Chains A and B, each alone.
Chain A
Amino acid sequence: MSAPADVPTLSAPPREPGFLHALGAPLVAAGRDLRELLALFAQTLYWCVRGRREKGDVIAQMYSLGNRSWFFLSVSMGFIGMILVFQAGAQAAKVVPDFSLLGPFYIKLLVRDLAASIGAMPLATRVGAGIAAEIGTMVVTEQTDALRMCSAEPVDYLVVPRFLASIVMTTVLLVWAAFVALIAGMIVAKHSYGVSYVNFVDFSFVTPGDAITGLMKCVAYGAAIPIVSAHRGLRTFGGAEGVGRATTDAVVHSTFAVIMLNFVLSTVGFLLFPE
């Protein structure tokens, strides 16, 4: 199967294996992947403006990406919140046996970084795998070719609804995840360290810059996960095995994208809102 002209082309297999080839190939591949990702992102933005979507496409994707991830993310963030507070309290007890600041610091970190970045990881695994598997299957079964034959652009038809749905629902889910992690941490702080709920839920350390940084990350992760996953799905080849590989790659790359974006956005956040 040949790759369509308007989707990223597949990287060619190495011709002459050797030391230099082995050294340079991953970097070249990474550079090509990055270029393809940026191209796909640009196409997606283009089709967001110019494309025509069927009614209910985005809502269906929002339900699939958001509502169906709600329980999974709630449980994950509940446990993560409990672990974080317990470990933070245990370490704090070694330095200063004063837990009055456990809540304020935890909430600040949660708002600025942890809720978005940690919550995006399980979301990337579930959403990314789903998108890559769906699109990858359509690619290997030549449904994307059929779309082109029907004058339907695969990016507009397959990627844009997921992209829009992911931006909204990732933000929604990560706000919810922050709330769940806060409640879970509050309960652990109360029962493990005797910190009252009133003392724990103290937003005095949280600044508007923290909230803006956190929301910025939510939107960025919501945009990155479907783009990375769709990219892996669109370049699937090799039948069912290829779909499996694309799914795995989508999970790995989406998670990696979240981490890299976290690094970049945290730096931007500290530059814009230095505190």
Chain B
Amino acid sequence: MKGLSIEARVGLLILLAAGLLAAFVFVLSGVRLGKTYELFVDFNNPGSVQSGAPVRIGGLKVGQVSEMRYLGGGLDPRTGRRALVRMRVQLDQDVQPTVHEDALFYVTAQGVLGEQFVAVDPGTAEKPALAPGAIVHGVDPPRLDLALALGYELLETLVDGIRANRAELGSLLDGLISILRDLSGLLHENRARLEQIIVNVETASSEAAQLVTGARAQYVDGAEARRVLTNLDRVLAVAARDLGPLLTDVRSVAGHADTALATIGPEEQRRIRATIERAASIAERADSTLADAQGIVAHVRAGEGTVGAMLMDEEIYDDVQELIRDLKHNPWKFFWRE
């Protein structure tokens, strides 16, 4: 420095400041050195994002908002959607393959009270990358101002309602307090019973659990249930095996029956009808005969008549037995009467 002239020293200082100023202007202008590509993001409410706001992926700055254009909610023929504001964003070319068609563009803030910026969730790798110049629909940030306004309106309505119905609300509260007081007294008076009920419920619950466990062991996991299931499986297997041929046979029989029925003419049908009528008549007579027989049997059971007396009267039975025994020992009595 000592060898430099005054002019050179002044020039050096000016150059230094000019360099700083140029660097500052460069940073401020937001010029990005690498190659970039454009995307358009439609919002109905982009919050307070302004041109120059950063665009971040995973917290890293990958671009910036270069323009905000008011569309006024008009229908865009290219997208078929309506949007209020269209945002032009410049992103680094490097991230282009990683921002997919299902990427989410949303407005968020840096820190608690910080500047708003556009955050990008790059989407899934299965989807193709967003082409440069694509128009996507952004996720609008939550409208805290709207929520506050609506909340204020709600509170105002609530306060008005309370003021207008003060007497009714007071009465309602009094009633509620009375109910609660009564309930408290009731609970206090029946405390022992309630405790007993709770104990009973616990016991019932415990026993029900045991019952379910036992039933499960017996009827679900037990040997009996397994055997039933095994048998059922076998039956089903047999049915599956035999049902096909059986159905075939049934169809065959039905076919034959159809054929046989087709051969029956009017004369045969008349004879069959007559045979059926005769069979019905015979059945009626058989019913009548059966009824008579039942009457005779009932008569015999009652010990009425000769046969009934013989069968049901013990004394006659004993007399006959005695007579037979006497005839066996004294056969001459068949020929000779004393």
* Interface residues in chain A, defined as those with a beta carbon under 8 Å from any beta carbon in chain B: 56, 59-60, 62-63, 66-67, 70, 96, 98, 100-101, 104, 111, 168-169, 171-173, 175-176, 178-179, 203-208, 211
Q: Say whether, besides A59-B6, A59-B7, A59-B10, A176 and B16 are in contact (CB < 8 Å).
A: yes
Q: Say whether, besides A104-B115, A168-B14, A206-B28, A63 and B54 are in contact (CB < 8 Å).
A: no
Contact residue among A62, A101, A176, A207 (Cβ-Cβ distance under 8 Å from B113): A101
Q: Mark out the residues of chain B between 96 and 141 whose CB falls within 8 Å of any chain A CB in the assembled complex.
A: 110-115, 117
Contact between chains at A101 and B111 (CB < 8 Å): yes
Instruction: Say what secondary structure dominates the interface of chain B.
Output: helix
Give the segment of B18-26, B177-185, B211-219 that binds chain A.
B18-26
Contact between chains at B6 and A172 (CB < 8 Å): no
Let me know if B85 is at the binding interface, CB within 8 A. Answer: no
Let me know if B53 is at the binding interface, CB within 8 A. Answer: yes
Q: How far is the CB of B306 from chain A (nearest CB, A)?
A: 123
Q: How far is the CB of B244 from chain A (nearest CB, A)?
A: 77
Let me know if B285 is at the binding interface, CB within 8 A. Answer: no
Contact between chains at B110 and A100 (CB < 8 Å): yes
Contact between chains at A63 and B6 (CB < 8 Å): yes
Other A-B pairs beyond A101-B111, A175-B20, 19, CB < 8 Å:
A60-B6, A66-B10, A67-B9, A67-B10, A70-B13, A96-B113, A100-B111, A100-B114, A101-B110, A101-B115, A172-B14, A175-B21, A176-B13, A176-B17, A203-B28, A204-B53, A205-B115, A206-B28, A211-B24
Q: Say whether, besides A104-B115, A206-B28, A171 and B17 are in contact (CB < 8 Å).
A: yes
Which B residues touch A208, using CB under 8 A? 28
Q: How far is the CB of A133 from chain B (nearest CB, A)?
A: 20
Closest residue on chain B to residue A65 by CB atoms: B10
Cα A176 to Cα B17 with chains together (Å): 6
Let me know if B27 is at the binding interface, CB within 8 A. Answer: yes
Closest residue on chain B to residue A171 by CB atoms: B17
Contact between chains at B111 and A204 (CB < 8 Å): no
Which B residues touch A205, using CB under 8 A? 115
Which B residues touch A96, using CB under 8 A? 111-113
Contact between chains at A66 and B13 (CB < 8 Å): yes
Which B residues touch A101, using CB under 8 A? 110-111, 113-115
